[in-house]
Amino acid sequence: MTTTITPPETRGPAAAPVSNSLTAGKLPNGASWMVLGGSVLVSAGLFGVIAFSGAEFNWVGTFVVAALVYVVTITLLSRIVEGSRRATDRFVTALVTGAFLLAMIPLISLSITVVTFGLNRFDAEFFSYSMRNVTGEGGGALHAIVGTVLMTGTAALISIPIGLMTSIYLVEYGRGRLARGITFLVDVMTGIPSIVAGLFAYALFAIFWGPGTRTGIAGAVALAVLMIPVVVRSSEEMLRLVPVELREAAYALGVPKWLTIVKVVLPTSIAGITTGIMLAIARVIGETAPLLIAAGFTNSMNYDMTEGRMQSLPVFVYTQYANQGNPPEAYLDRAWAAALTLILIVMVLNLVARLVARFFAPKYGR
Amino acid sequence: MSKRIEVRDLNVYYGKFLAVEGVSLEIEPRSVTAFIGPSGCGKSTFLRTLNRMHEVIPGARVEGEVLIDGNNLYDPEVDPVLVRRQVGMVFQRPNPFPTMSIKENVLAGVKLNNKRISKSDADDLVESSLQGANLWNEVKDRLDRPGSGLSGGQQQRLCIARAIAVSPEVILMDEPCSALDPISTLAIEDLIEELKQEYTIVIVTHNMQQASRVSDKTAFFNIAGTGKPGKLIEYDETTTIFSNPSEKATEDYVSGRFG
Amino acid sequence: MTTAAAPIRAKQRPGDRVFSKSAVFAGSMILVTLAAVATFLIVQSIPALFADGEDASILDSNFWAYVGPLVFGTIWAAALALLIALPISIGIALFISHYAPRRLASVLGYVVDLLAAVPSVVFGLWGIGVLAPAVQPLYSWLVDNLGWFPLFAGPVSGTGRTILTAALVLAVMIIPIITAISREVFLQTPVLHEEAALALGATRWEMIRTAVLPFGRPGIISAAVLGLGRALGETMAVAMVLSATGAVTFQLLTSVNPSTIAANIALSFPEAYGINVNVLIATGLILFIVTFAVNAIARWIVARRAEFSGAN
């Protein structure tokens, strides 16, 4: 019976006695790890020799060559021992894992770079000074942080009511052509390039205040255009998760529809909606292009949304990079420090959003 | 506290589909009426027309009249919300509000309507409603815990307490025991027996023993085939329906030769 | 309760009316906003369409000659990014959905999502500061050894800030988007199909090829198109990384590179005045139309898939 169990194309070591016929024609369990270790050693040795002749040791090269050696060796080895079908399987496994590791390279490289360069100027002065009258070293991003908070906050104030009420309309009231039309338009809005939102806000406010005006409120409107569809989408999804039974229970108690929505549906889904809104804020807080167009940039503090240009963190990063003065290191350090601040804000928002979703979601008694 | 229901030539539609056709019956106050019949025969749909809950489903509409103490529910001037305060409902699956405590669940009907209620009144109402639902002794020490922490049978009695806290005239029950174990079912059946002293009760059930145990009168619904409307076949005293029905279909159904 | 016995009247309650009206109002605001976006862009674009070099200083001859190379650059960069990102994204999605251990899978998914949370301006900074210098030696090697291949023709860029580097940054930015959607689709593969394949003695890859990929193909396509839409509109990363000259060329590694619409607006707008502003807004309108068309295709594919599967 052993011959029928072993795949026919196996050219395994037939002479060797096999204790369990089901393991015949298969590479031993640790084989892939051993091949991987061998590949890394070979590759490191190769680059070590190159490094010995003067060049710097190339980590990326080592990694790439090790991966290539591994893929080739494991496929060949498997083809000899296990046959072509399993060889293909191992080949694809290596490729798929490799794709994941490849995507980790930019993430890790980015994190290391932002933290190492960002910490150079991640100090008290950075968070307590603006760039007014600063040339060269010193100065800070307080005006940009204030601008980001003001504009993102205003954008949230505009888009949360509109987005939430729209999702309520779509879930609780929407029937027929208007609802289908709005769903379609929300889709279209999701696809608006961020710079187009900036152009729109600029053109809109150019009508009232004349061409060339750049204000905080214009920036906020641009961000709101980008934020509304995200809020609608996530809130809609959360509202649809609320069981119909709960709405019916409220109706059966003689509760009008709007009170049912306000007091039963919204409280039940509030955790999910909060998460969605925080993720939406995290998405727009890093937007650069629309603010560059609609709110411009400045070196001074500005608390007035309706008057004068307003700086923001992402635009600060860009302007510090783009308009380097003397010494350029001071400008680049400030850019990286602002980038680090921005990433930290986005990460905290993401993290808190997920914690809210996990801990405050209601438990349906099922 | 309890009212008489009179239904005249009621047709229920979902869009163009006629789901229930030509139902006429009268339900006496302070009685338990059971609706039985095979799945999909329209008994739940019909039950939901008695407090206009079917309107929650888009496209549902009704022809005919439902009179509660002579007032037509389907008069164009009638507000369905007020109807539902007089005709309460208990659902198939217990559905306490997950964001509320036991106490808040009982008070939901009052609080959700933005009514002010003094603390002592609220406490009295909670106690009397939970007493009425035979749940007071089991939960009086944990009124502030979430309602979803109770067992299935307790949750269902909590839902009944919630329904009677708004002092309705009629209570509709849509297969209230189908998601419960036999012991919880018995507790609910005992409760129905007590509630009928004060309320008009209409119950939909798949369990014929349950219908014969709890109801005074029984209505048998049937359907000719898929896509055909459900119809009221026979409506009589429960003892008659189960021992000596006048229709052949009813006899087949209650004796288990059908459905 | 004798008071309640009175016939019940009043058809619609004021609270309900106010609430449903404001819901409809909010929904209509979406309509108004989009109509406003379209109207403003079109109105502001009209002067640009008939302008020439005398009206607007950034125009050489007419508007279409100006926007042509930009459209080419936008589509070329986005297509390159998609070409790089798509296979990697499918690999990652498969790794998370079918290869990684169960407990790790959600964590790994979250790690990939982190990439999506990084602001584009930070990607831009990273692209110039880290990626461009890192790939420049590779580019030199490619030009020296594979220069006969038209795409790799020299002379090599000394900074590494070429269209290929921009496409690499764009690819990193759209990988999380494509991965997230593909992963969802792969996880929805009916378990019965997978088990049927495994029960026939298929290896994991054969199971994926026969059950998972055919089921997920429409999802992958729409994910790819959505990623393409994102890459078309991406601004800052390209504006910072790419050192553009405005040429129309397919060469990937030289210092002569086409620009993209979005990057060109970001770079030129702060200093623009007069009719130049209208020219830039008109290019924005064209970008809007292109992304709208791409997203419409994605939606159409999704809708067709919904029809096929019967569910959703």
Per-residue pLDDT tens digits for B192-244: 888 888 889 999 998 888 888 889 999 998 888 777 888 888 898 998 888 88
B79 — contact with chain C (CB < 8 Å)?
A: yes
What residues of chain A lie within 8 A of the CB of C270, using their CB?
A: 292, 296-297
The answer, yes or no, to whether residue C209 has pLDDT greater than 80, is yes
Helix (H, G, I), strand (E, B) or coil at B181: coil
Q: What are the tens digits of pLDDT across the range A230-266?
A: 999 899 988 988 888 888 888 888 888 888 888 889 9
pTM of the full structure: 0.83
Sequence ranges of the domains in chain C: 45-309
CB of C133 within 8 Å of a chain A CB? The answer is: no
Query: Are A220 and A155 in contact, with CB atoms under 8 Å apart?
Result: yes
With a cut of 50, say whether residue C2 has pLDDT above it: no
Query: ipTM for the complex?
Result: 0.86
pLDDT score of A366 more than 50: no
- Find residues 148-177 of chain C whose CB sits inside 8 Å of chain A: 172, 175
Nearest CA in chain A to C232: A193
Distance CA C49, CA A247 (A): 54
Band (pLDDT 50/70/90 cuts) for residue C139 is confident
Q: What span, in angstroms and rounded, lies between the C-alpha atoms of B238 and B28?
A: 14
Name the range with the highest mean pLDDT among A224-228, B65-69, B113-117.
Answer: A224-228
Question: Which pLDDT tens digit goes with each residue over A87-122?
Answer: 888 888 888 888 888 888 888 888 888 888 888 888
For β-strands B217-223 and B200-204, DSSP reports them as unpaired
Q: Which residues of C touch B69 (CB under 8 A)?
A: 5
- Write out residues 262-281 of C within 8 Å (CB-CB) of A: 262, 265-266, 269-270, 273, 277, 280-281
Q: Which residues pair with B10 in a beta bridge?
A: B23
Flag whether residue B114 sits within 8 Å of chain A, measured between CB atoms. Answer: yes
> What structural domains and CATH numbers belong to chain A?
28-120 (no CATH), 127-359 (1.10.3720.10)
In a domain, B109, yes or no: no
Average pLDDT over residues B17-32: 88
The pLDDT assigned to A161 comes to: 92
Region A122-143: what's the mean pLDDT? 80
The residue type of C25 is F
Are the beta carbons of B76 and C11 separated by less than 8 Å? Answer: yes
For residue A162, name the pLDDT band (cuts at 50, 70, 90).
very high
Residue B124 in domain: no
Across the range C93-119, mean pLDDT stands at: 83
| Number of compact structural domains in chain B | 1
pLDDT at B33: 92
CATH code of residue B209: 3.40.50.300
Higher pLDDT, A86 or C12: A86
Name the CATH superfamily housing domain C45-309. MetI-like (1.10.3720.10)
- C-alpha distance from C110 to closest chain B C-alpha (Å): 28
Q: Write the secondary structure of A67-88 as one string of H (helix), E (strand) and C (coil).
A: HHHHHHHHHHHHHHHHCHHHHH
Torsion sign, CA atoms A99, A100, A101, A102: positive
Is residue B121 situated within a structural domain? no
Interior angle at CA B140, CA B137 and CA B144, nearest 5? 150
Beta-strand ranges (E) seen in B138-177 are 170-174
**B195 located within any domain:** yes
Residue A54: left (phi > 0), alpha (psi -120 to 50), or beta? left
Q: Identify whether B215 is part of a domain.
A: yes
Length of chain A: 366
Looking at the predicted structure, is the pLDDT value of residue C117 above 60?
yes
Question: Residue B210: which domain range?
Answer: 5-93+170-255
Q: What is the three-class DSSP state of B1?
A: coil
Q: Residue A54 — pLDDT band, cuts 50, 70, 90?
A: low
**Average pLDDT score over residue span C192-197:** 83
Which among C129, C172, C229 has CB closest to A113? C129
Cβ–Cβ < 8 Å for C164, C252: yes
Q: Which of A244, A245, A246, A255 to mutate: most B Cβ within 10 Å?
A: A255
Residues 62-101 on B with a CB inside 8 Å of A are 81-86, 88-89, 91, 93-99
pLDDT at C84: 92
